């Protein structure tokens, strides 16, 4: 697959990896990035109007915990008008919000060149075509083999081959227009970065996180309790600071190792009131998730996202919030997260900065578990100085939505093991 500049995705990723390895540092409390958080925002700021971003706001003060949370507003969005961002520092949270808003803007109006063709014509020409059946909307069928549709060219990172993906699979449009589409709309695996490799790693981690989270839902209470981790086992000053902020504000942090059989660390964090009682509202329990090659980074992502969840609930800024949710009682099966007691008999090894910048270290765990295809679809953004992609992994589980097929093989196997 060649870009407009005649450079293949494989070549772009290799060049990005060389740059990221040079930029890799143990001093970054979040993840390996080509540019720091402030530089990332300053590079995008001149393009806010084209991306539809009209306002940024720090909303940390809406809660008493004090973990930084920012938001970016796109009032003409075809999805959600407010994007939230979190981080260990205000610059990290600001960059997180801006990048999320920008990547959604690109996915709503993808600048990448597409072709119009039938599935049969592409296959007859020897091209590989993405299997989109797991992403079909309820009540919808795949386009017919002889029905012309728009396609984008992606790249299978495991097979090292180009693959054509229906444009509709990676587009975002939550307006009424989507009722006429074949495939469900989701941000699952949508990611951005200062370069394409950053975006691919971010999107791949999100897919592994979502898969692990879906499988975690089948855990019995004893299994949840057994994997409750004392944050102090990381011996990390940033994680200690996050835990101290939460405790000082009168809340309880619980951290759970939700990693699946895929050897990429995934954590879930919950924040709940310190004073326990017999009846809780749904929003009394806030949860966050994180995945990364570094267990420390994955845990920080989960904790900061839980803090972001609280502020999102407090602000009511999400377009899809139903006011009745604020009066809902906490589901009885979620009480285990409030009452779980953390254990300290955990040990997590942190990878080297160079390993964190290597795509192969993220792909190997999937390959070793028999995952056969990981497709990255570059969507654009380079004209604004960043890259957006969508990562598709059919063999991993996806969050609940309006898809025809709720569970895949991994979830069905998890059910049978219970």
Query: pLDDT above 70 covers what percent of the chain?
Result: 97
Q: How far apart are CA 355 and CA 265, in angstroms?
A: 14
Task: Extract the tokens encoding 321.
Answer: 């919030």
Helices (H) and strands (E) in the chain, counts: 14, 13
The whole-number pLDDT of residue 5 equals 52
The whole-number pLDDT of residue 357 equals 87
The reported pTM is 0.94
Nearest to 65 by CA among 276, 307, 253: 307
Give the pLDDT confidence of 102-145 residue by residue, as tens digits: 999 999 999 999 999 999 999 999 999 999 999 999 989 999 99
Compute the mean pLDDT over every residue in the chain, rounded to the nearest whole number. Answer: 93
Give the pLDDT confidence of 48-92 residue by residue, as tens digits: 999 999 999 999 999 999 999 999 999 999 998 999 999 999 999
Check residue 319 and report its DSSP letter. Answer: T
Tell me the pLDDT band of 1, cut-offs 50, 70 and 90: very low
Please check the confidence at residue 16 and state whether its pLDDT lies above 70.
Answer: yes
Tell me the β-bridge partners of 343: 229
The whole-number pLDDT of residue 148 equals 96
Tell me the pLDDT band of 276, cut-offs 50, 70 and 90: confident
Higher pLDDT, 407 or 360: 360
> Comparing 47-51, 98-102, 140-144, 243-247, which segment has the lowest mean pLDDT?
140-144
**Span 174-181, mean pLDDT?**
78
Nearest to 367 by CA among 130, 199, 152, 160: 160
Query: pLDDT above 90 covers what percent of the chain?
Result: 81
The whole-number pLDDT of residue 300 equals 97
Q: How far apart are CA 379 and CA 170, in angstroms?
A: 8
Please check the confidence at residue 401 and state whether its pLDDT lies above 90.
Answer: no
Residues 6 or more apart from 335 whose CB is under 8 A from it?
280
Please check the confidence at residue 210 and state whether its pLDDT lies above 70.
Answer: yes
Tell me the pLDDT band of 312, cut-offs 50, 70 and 90: very high
Residues 6 or more apart from 40 whose CB is under 8 A from it?
33, 95, 98, 99, 194, 386
Please check the confidence at residue 388 and state whether its pLDDT lies above 70.
Answer: yes
């Amino acid at each position: 697959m060649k870009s407009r500049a005649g450079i293949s995705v494989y070549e772009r990723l290799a060049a990005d990896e060389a740059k990221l390895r040079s930029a890799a540092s143990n001093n970054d409390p979040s993840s390996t990035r080509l540019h720091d958080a402030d530089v990332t925002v300053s590079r995008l700021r001149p393009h806010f109007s084209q991306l539809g971003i009209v306002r940024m706001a720090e909303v940390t003060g809406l809660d008493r915990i004090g973990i930084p949370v920012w938001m970016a507003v796109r009032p003409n969005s075809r999805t959600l008008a407010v994007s939230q961002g979190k981080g260990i520092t205000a610059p990290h949270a600001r960059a997180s919000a801006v990048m999320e808003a920008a990547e959604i803007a690109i996915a709503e109006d993808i600048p990448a060149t597409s072709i119009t063709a039938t599935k049969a014509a592409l296959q007859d020409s020897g091209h590989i075509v993405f299997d989109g059946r797991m992403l079909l909307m309820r009540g919808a069928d795949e386009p017919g083999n002889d029905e012309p549709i728009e396609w984008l060219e992606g790249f299978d990172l495991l097979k090292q081959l180009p693959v054509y993906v229906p444009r509709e699979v990676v587009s975002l449009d939550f307006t009424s227009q989507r009722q006429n589409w074949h495939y469900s709309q989701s941000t699952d695996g949508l990611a951005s970065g200062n370069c394409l490799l950053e975006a691919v790693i971010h999107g791949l981690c999100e897919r592994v996180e979502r898969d692990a989270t879906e499988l975690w839902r089948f855990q019995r209470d004893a299994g949840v309790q057994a994997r409750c981790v004392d944050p102090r086992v990381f011996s990390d000053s940033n994680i200690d600071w996050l835990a101290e902020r939460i405790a000082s504000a009168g809340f309880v942090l619980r951290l759970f190792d939700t990693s699946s059989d895929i050897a990429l660390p995934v954590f879930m964090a919950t924040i709940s009131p310190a004073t326990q009682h017999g009846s809780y509202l749904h929003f009394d329990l806030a949860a966050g998730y994180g995945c990364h090659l570094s267990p420390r980074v994955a845990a920080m992502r989960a904790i900061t996202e839980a803090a972001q969840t609280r502020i999102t609930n407090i602000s009511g800024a999400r377009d899809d919030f139903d006011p009745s949710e604020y009066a809902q009682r906490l589901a009885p099966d979620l009480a285990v997260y409030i009452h779980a007691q953390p254990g300290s008999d955990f040990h997590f090894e942190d990878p080297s900065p160079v390993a964190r910048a290597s795509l192969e270290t993220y792909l190997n765990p999937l390959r070793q578990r028999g995952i056969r295809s990981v497709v990255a679809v570059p969507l654009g953004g380079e004209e604004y100085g960043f890259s957006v992609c969508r990562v598709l992994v059919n063999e991993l589980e996806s969050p609940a939505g309006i898809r025809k097929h709720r569970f895949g093989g991994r979830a069905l196997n998890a059910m049978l093991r219970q």
